[in-house]
Amino acid sequence: MNKKKSYSQFKYQKRIICLPFDQKNYYDIVFEANKFRASVDKFIEQYPQLFPSEITQGYQLKDVRFPTKLPVPIRRILLKKSNISYTIRPAFVMPYMTAMTEDVEKALFLRKYQVPFHALKYVFGENSMKWFRMEQSLGRNSIVGTTIRWADDLPEHVVADEKHTWVSGEKAYIATTCANHCILGVSVASAADETELTKAYGVFKNETQEIQPNYAPKTVTLDGWKAAQNAWKTLFPSLLLIFCFLHVFIKIRDRAKKKFKEVFSEISEKLWNCFKAPSKRTFSQRVRRLVEWASSINDIPSNI
């Protein structure tokens, strides 16, 4: 009995390859099989990361088609090994063949500065919903895939946190993953529990493993939220959890502000002295001294 595939199974199966054809020469190339194959072969050599790995086993050219939205001819290729077809889309056309890139790039650029959609309609024409849908369609692309070109550039250490927001009047949580000054994962979780956060952060895992199948970061820096910690350990069992130093300080401050006000100033000074350590070795030494100092004071529990 055939079982229907879930949405998640279809979501990451890319069937479109976007290539930087020269718009002036494209219409002469696309109808000539030999010229089109020569161009594709050149792109395979220059940008192998844009193609599925099976492309090295050979491919066949398929027919030329004209999408209903734009009169731009496109071709498909058929991989010999997997017998899977891929559509070749020129980069001068927007995703989903909604418009020519040069016709909309200025309007979409203004969205960076939060220019409202009705203003884009007034200046560039069309209608507000078209500009809205065009912006939203950009979010369907893989964040990791459009940011990282090579598997060697995948980060070994990441930072993750959940940002509170509202979606259609309901509270939601934006599971955000960052590394090397870049946002690499943004996904909405309907709740801050382990199940929902595992699904949300799982988007980052799926996108990275499209680039490198066995990818797993070495460490992730988190706050003290247990559900987020469990979610990351579920996704990457070998992962080392690192707790945010600021959240550690806040937790100590909250515990100490009522019962241990008189020594909190000294505690915070010693704690931030650990943070300012010039090396890992010095940091470990200062943390040990801090624990020994806290344990030596009878009125302060060692686990504060």
For 71-129, the pLDDT digits (tens) are: 899 999 999 988 999 999 999 999 888 899 999 999 999 998 989 999 999 999 989 99
Which 8-state DSSP code applies to residue 97?
A: G
Query: Residue 227: what pLDDT?
Result: 94
Are 182 and 213 contacting, i.e. CB atoms less than 8 angstroms apart? no
- β-strand partners of 157: 219
Report CA-CA distances (Å) from 280 to 46, 110, 222, 249.
41, 45, 19, 19
Identify the sign of the CA torsion 25, 29, 34, 37. positive
Q: What is the pLDDT of residues 217-268, one digit of tens each?
A: 999 999 878 999 999 999 999 999 998 888 888 887 877 776 666 777 888 8
pLDDT of the residue at 169: 84
Question: How far is residue 207's CA from residue 212's CA, in Å, rounded to a whole number?
Answer: 9
User: Helices marked H in the chain — which ranges?
Assistant: 7-11, 23-29, 33-46, 101-110, 117-124, 128-138, 143-147, 194-211, 226-235, 245-259, 261-275, 280-296
- End-to-end, the C-alpha distance of the chain in Å comes to 59
* pLDDT at 295 (0 to 100): 81
Q: Residue 112 corresponds to which tokens in the numbers above?
A: 């960076």
Spatial distance between the Cα atoms of 216 and 205, rounded to a whole number of angstroms: 8
Q: How far apart are CA 177 and CA 282, in angstroms?
A: 29
Q: What is the mean pLDDT of residues 193-201?
A: 95
Q: Over the stretch 29-70, which tens digit does the pLDDT of each residue have?
A: 999 999 999 999 999 999 888 888 889 999 999 989 888 788
Using CA atoms, how far residue 50 sits from 8, 43, 110, 206, 271, in Å, is: 21, 9, 28, 17, 48
Q: Which of 11-20, 62-71, 81-90, 290-299 has the highest mean pLDDT?
A: 81-90
Give tens-digit pLDDT for 123-181: 999 899 999 988 888 777 788 888 887 888 999 999 999 998 888 788 999 999 999 98
Write down the pLDDT at residue 260: 67
**H or E element at residue 67:** none
Question: 236 — phi, psi (to 5°)?
Answer: -130, 85
Q: Is the pLDDT of residue 17 over 60?
A: yes
User: For position 246, what pLDDT does the model report?
Assistant: 84
Q: How far is C-alpha 302 from the geometric centre of its chain's CA atoms?
A: 39
- Position 301 scores a pLDDT of 52
Could you give the CA distance from residue 290 to residue 275 in angstroms, rounded to a whole number? Answer: 12
d(C-alpha 159, C-alpha 208), whole Å = 15
- pLDDT attached to residue 259: 66
CA neighbor of 253 nearest in space, from 270, 274, 268, 242: 268
Number of neighbouring beta carbons within 10 Å of residue 79: 19
pLDDT greater than 50 at residue 3 = no
